[in-house]
Amino acid sequence: MARPLTLGLVQLTSSLDVTHNVAITSDLVRKAASDGAQLILTPEMTSCLDRDRDRALETACLEQDDPALPQFQALAHDLGITLLIGSLPIRLPLEETEGGAPKLANRSFLIGPDGAIMARYDKIHLFDVSLGNGEGYCESASYQSGDRAIVADMGAARLGLSICYDVRFAALYRALAQEGAEILTVPAAFTRTTGKAHWHVLLRARAIETGSFVAAPAQSGRHEDGRETFGHSLLISLGARY
């Protein structure tokens, strides 16, 4: 990295209330900035965590109409920090969806100190899993997978962007490292079940394999949509130490 960089990770328990989630996130980002963080990262689905397909499709907006994004852009500008919003549910224009069916993107936004969007990343690997205990998820019912890996240069460091379930696919992280990523970002909403089994070991494995730092802000706790997430936001060093 070009120079020392102080990171801040925000851990949330996002609800269905976008206004409330944005307010809580903004307060925590301001606290991290006041503590000296220059790059601050939030979890997957920062603005709204909702597993109900119909409701998610009904409430999500096109990127240009999303109510949370401009507030986060203004926040980054006000604080003079770089802000990675782990992801927002973004409605895709029908001409961009497979078969013209309504779909969302699970999209990360990297926002610069001037408030401009520096990079976007759409989650590639969607969480379609039955956990065998009556708990199951089919992210592809609502979301369309991304089709490209993204490395973003923020000046002080090069970031390799990913989201949650992506962490199980090592080839993505090798590709990001080969493109010069120094910090791998893994904003997540890991379930409590999968988190207890795999969260720590997967993140440490990605750090070891690539020789990169890993920054993983997480959702934590019991959510309004019925799921329970694992938390344990982590920053992992080149030696895979916490």
Catalytic residues: 44, 123, 164
CB-based contact 22:74 (threshold 8 Å): no
Give the integer Cα–Cα distance in Å for 170 and 57.
30
> Six-digit token pair at 204?
């440490």
Check if the beta carbon of residue 58 is closer than 8 Å to that of residue 102.
no
Cβ(186)–Cβ(152) under 8 Å?
Answer: no
